[in-house]
Amino acid sequence: MSTGFQGKFHRQNMLSRFAKELVRRSRSKCELCEKSGAKLEVCELPPFGEEPFPDGCVFICEECRKQIDNPKKTIPSHWRCLNNSLWSEVPAVQVASFRMLRRLAHSERWAEELLENAYLDPETEEWARQAE
């Protein structure tokens, strides 16, 4: 596995190649908050394997990305969308939703309840619990 700047560049380059496929999968809406008409970006979910792959990524808007990357900027009301995204047919979307809910459940009762009722298939749940 290549490391350093070149490795990072290579990875970004690969991720950008998934955009076309992810546009189709997401129908051009943020896969978490369903915002349409927004600029969407490919966000790879940890843990990162040797090579990125589309099913290991979510296609999300800048607002969702910002809050995922900066726990201090989390606005709980924005994440009511997880009510829907948690039931997505796309495992990566379920994983991203599940992880965000776990973060919110520390302070938000609704998130805790949603988590209690969540059902992920065992393989997806194992993935969701990695990289914690």
Indicate whether 111 belongs to the interface with Zn ion (CB under 5 A): no
To Zn ion, the closest distance from the beta carbon of 43 in angstroms equals: 10
- Mark the segment that binds Zn ion (CB under 5 A) among 18-26, 28-36, 40-48, 91-99: 28-36
Helix (H, G, I), strand (E, B) or coil at 122: helix
Nearer to Zn ion, 51 or 64 (CB): 64
Q: Which of 54, 77, 78, 46 is nearest to 64 (CA)?
A: 78
Number of residues in contact with Zn ion, rule: CB under 5 A?
6
To Zn ion, the closest distance from the beta carbon of 74 in angstroms equals: 13
With CB under 5 A as the contact rule, the residue among 15, 22, 30, 86 that binds Zn ion is 30
Strands 57-61 and 40-44: antiparallel
Nearer to Zn ion, 93 or 120 (CB): 93
Q: Which alpha helices (H) appear in the chain, and where do they start and end?
A: 4-17, 19-26, 62-69, 82-85, 91-104, 109-117, 122-129
CA 43 to each of CA 18, 101, 105, 111: distance values in angstroms, whole numbers, following the listed order: 10, 17, 22, 22
Binding mask 33-72 for Zn ion (x = CB under 5 A): x-x-------------------------x--x--------
- Label residue 131 left, alpha or beta by phi (over 0 means left) and psi (-120 to 50 means alpha): left
In the complex, the residues that contact Zn ion under the rule CB under 5 A are 30, 32-33, 35, 61, 64
